[in-house]
Structure formats: structure tokens, C-alpha cells
């Protein structure tokens, strides 16, 4: 590789595209979903299990690793990937999202973000420069520029100030970069305003990042607005670099975003929903808590080859969940992540065979039919 990463498009179908993203820790086929391992751990899953499902990149969070166990320890252990025993690549979020999600314990100004640790109240300062240095110390393959995630709702004036701050921070982060073998991505903001999304995309695209992301979406806005802003952001980003839609979303969201030209995704939904008893299936979302499954011998999804679907019935999984057994969270998480991995594999194949439109429709139709059945059974 000439730089920290290389990206090449291998197939297109309309706007949707498949590609290969090469990193120091291996190649990732795109479109790709990254399981969220906030604290260098994807909840309920071992790193080798993730690898076995086909995941080649995991997301970790720089802020959470800063407060525990600290970048010095992670660096001494060889970086995040080696520390957690994952043979693939790592993308680290900068901590900008925590400025919104932990809003009660932070303040933001031109200099950066000041936190009070959610663990012990200790002062934590993140600047555009220190966020890059932190991620370099963590050994991330792909680092994210520090940004201010615009909350929803926000006035036009507030969203404008947020995107301009993000652009100034992006320039500072680029200047602070020291590692030639770690990629740095810029992030588009702009809230839910089309003119501001265009402005932010133009500002961030003009900077020499290794890839570009759309942030500040799926933060409480109506779905149709999220889709509109995501599509607009993607249309403004460089063709030759990877495009990353941050924090989105459901299987239907991912398929829609692939159709917009995005290459990379992350979201807590497959793991969080699993812990709450919810499974993603080819026939829509299934809540294992329902009494109707108490004697159901079927697997979660008859069109699935994951280990839980091969070996465990809905009845048994419901029993585990209602009993508070840890195995319920493990089994449902494994199933959901397998489902997401397969969703990406099939999307890649559909793009390569020029059948992505039909594939996307089959996903939408299956989810709609399953949801209709679930409503009828209520």
C-alpha cells in the first residue's frame, strides 16, 4: 500500500458499489458492517467468533478506552486489535458522539470537549489534536476526526455553528497527524438542513482525508429526513474514497444506504436489540419474549445457518431469556451479527451480479411481510 489504506471499487449497480478496502491489518470487502466494540469488546461475543462470521473490522471508542484502561496500557499491549485478540482491522470513533450522548458531563468550545469521566468524575479533555494522538496511541487502522455531533432538533443557526466548528477541528486534526500508517477520516455534519449538509460536505471533501463519513444522523429525526440527508451527503463525497455512514442502522436502513453509495457502517442495534430479546430475521424483527414462542420448535429464522438457528429452538431461547440466562444474550447476539454479516455478503454479490435492486426489494418485502404477520398475531 502506498498510504495507510487503499480503496478500489470492484463493481457497481446504479449508485450502489462493491469494493476492497486494504488496511495494515488486512482487506475488507465492502459494503461492510462493523460490529461495535465500544470498550474493545463486542458485547457477548469473542473476537474469534466475530472473525469466523466474516467480520474483518470492528469499531472501538477512543473516549471509553481513554478513561479505561487508558491508551498507555493499550499501546503497551500492541494496540487495540492485538489487545483484544482480533486479527482484523480496528476503526476508532474519536469521542465526538459522546459530547452529545454524555451532554450532562461535558462542555464544548473552540478548543475542544471537556468531559467529566462517567466512571469517577475525573476531568478529561479532548481536542482535535489530542483525539488524533489518542487514536494513534490506540493503534487504530482508521481514525475519526473529532467532530461535534449536531443534536436533533437544532436550529439552522445552531447546526451552522456546529458544522463550522467541525470543519475547523478537521483541519487541526489533519495537521496534528503523525502516523503514516493510520488512516484519518473526516466527518460531514449539518443537521437536517440540505443547504448545510452541502456546505459541510464541500468543506470536509476539500480536505485530504483518507475517507469521508456522514455523521449526525439517526439521532432522533424522522426516518424520511434521515434518508434524505444521508443520500444528499453521499452524493457530495468523493468517488475514489470510502464513504462511511455512522451509527445507522436497521437492516432496511443498511440496504437503503448501500443504494446511496455508502461503503461502511456501524450500529449497536444487532447487539443491543439481542440483549433485549429482539432478533433480526429474513421475515422481519422477532421478539423472543412473546408467549406464542413458548412451545415453538422452529429456529429463529428458517433461512439462517448460524449456530443458534442450527441448534436452538425459539422455545428454548424464550426460556433462556425469561430466566435471565446469559446464554440468551449470547445466542441472540450471535444470530443478529451473523444476519448482518450475511446481509453484507449478499449485497456484495448482488452488486457484482447487477441484481442489487431485486435484492433490496426482497429484503424490504420480507421485512414488511414479517411485520404484518407479527401485527396480525398480536
Which domains are assigned to the chain?
Answer: 33-266 (3.20.20.105), 274-377 (no CATH)
Sign for the pseudo-dihedral over CA of 313, 318, 270, 94: negative
* Residues recorded for the chain: 378
pLDDT at 75: 98
Active site residue 266: yes
Q: Which listed residue (141, 253, 263, 266) is catalytic?
A: 266
DSSP 36: B
Specify the pLDDT at position 96: 76
Please tell me the predicted confidence (pLDDT) of residue 378: 57
pLDDT, residue 376, reads: 57
Pick out the chain residues at pLDDT < 70: 99-100, 103, 105, 371-378
CB-facing half-sphere around the CA of 115: CA atoms within 13 A: 21
Predicted structure pTM score: 0.96
Long-range contacts of the stretch 306-309 (C-beta < 8 A, 24+)? 306/334, 306/335, 306/338, 306/339, 307/334, 308/332, 308/334, 308/335, 309/335
Convert the pLDDT of each residue in 35-86 to its tens digit: 999 999 999 999 999 999 999 999 999 999 999 999 999 999 999 999 999 9
Instruction: Check residue 374 and give its pLDDT.
Output: 61
How many CA atoms does the CB half-sphere of 27 hold within 13 Å?
7
pLDDT of residue 99: 61
pLDDT score at 372:
57
- Terminal alpha carbon distance of the chain: 55
Residue 336 has a pLDDT of 98
d(CA 16, CA 276): 32
Please tell me the predicted confidence (pLDDT) of residue 94: 92
Q: How much is the pLDDT for 6?
A: 98
Find the catalytic residue in 13, 93, 147, 210.
93
195 is catalytic: no
Amino acid at each position: 500500500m502506498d498510504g495507510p489504506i487503499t480503496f478500489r471499487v470492484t463493481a457497481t449497480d446504479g449508485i450502489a458499489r462493491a469494493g476492497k478496502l486494504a488496511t495494515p491489518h488486512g482487506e475488507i470487502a465492502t459494503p461492510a458492517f462493523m460490529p461495535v466494540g465500544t470498550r474493545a469488546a463486542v458485547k457477548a461475543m469473542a473476537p474469534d467468533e466475530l472473525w469466523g462470521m466474516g467480520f474483518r473490522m470492528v469499531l472501538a471508542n477512543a473516549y471509553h478506552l481513554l478513561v479505561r484502561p487508558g491508551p498507555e496500557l493499550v499501546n503497551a499491549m500492541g494496540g487495540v486489535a492485538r489487545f483484544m485478540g482480533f486479527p482484523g482491522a480496528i476503526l476508532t470513533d474519536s469521542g465526538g458522539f459522546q459530547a452529545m450522548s454524555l451532554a450532562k458531563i461535558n462542555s464544548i468550545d473552540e478548543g475542544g470537549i471537556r468531559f467529566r469521566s462517567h466512571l469517577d468524575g475525573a476531568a478529561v479533555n479532548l481536542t482535535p489534536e489530542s483525539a488524533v494522538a489518542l487514536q494513534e496511541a490506540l493503534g487504530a487502522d482508521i481514525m475519526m476526526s473529532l467532530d461535534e455531533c449536531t443534536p436533533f432538533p437544532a436550529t439552522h443557526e445552531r447546526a451552522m455553528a456546529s458544522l463550522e466548528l467541525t470543519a475547523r477541528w478537521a483541519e487541526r486534526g489533519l495537521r496534528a497527524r503523525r502516523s503514516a500508517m493510520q488512516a484519518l477520516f473526516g466527518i460531514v455534519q449539518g443537521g437536517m438542513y440540505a443547504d448545510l449538509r452541502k456546505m459541510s460536505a464541500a468543506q470536509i471533501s476539500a480536505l485530504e482525508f483518507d475517507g469521508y463519513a456522514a455523521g449526525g444522523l439517526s439521532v432522533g429525526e424522522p426516518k424520511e429526513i434521515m434518508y434524505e440527508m444521508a443520500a444528499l451527503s453521499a452524493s457530495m463525497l468523493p468517488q475514489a474514497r470510502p464513504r462511511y455512514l455512522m451509527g445507522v442502522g436497521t437492516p432496511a436502513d443498511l440496504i437503503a444506504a448501500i443504494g446511496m453509495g455508502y461503503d461502511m457502517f456501524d450500529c449497536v442495534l444487532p447487539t443491543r436489540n439481542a440483549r433485549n430479546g429482539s432478533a433480526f430475521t429474513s421475515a422481519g424483527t422477532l421478539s423472543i419474549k412473546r408467549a406464542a414462542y413458548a412451545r415453538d420448535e422452529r429456529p429463529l429464522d428458517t433461512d439462517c445457518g448460524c449456530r443458534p438457528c442450527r441448534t436452538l429452538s425459539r422455545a428454548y431461547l424464550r426460556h433462556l431469556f425469561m430466566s435471565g440466562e446469559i446464554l440468551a444474550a449470547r445466542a441472540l447476539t450471535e444470530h443478529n451479527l451473523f444476519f448482518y454479516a450475511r446481509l453484507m455478503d449478499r449485497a456484495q454479490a448482488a452488486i457484482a451480479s447487477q441484481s442489487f435492486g431485486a435484492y433490496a426489494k426482497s429484503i424490504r418485502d420480507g421485512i414488511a411481510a414479517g411485520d404484518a404477520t407479527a401485527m396480525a398475531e398480536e
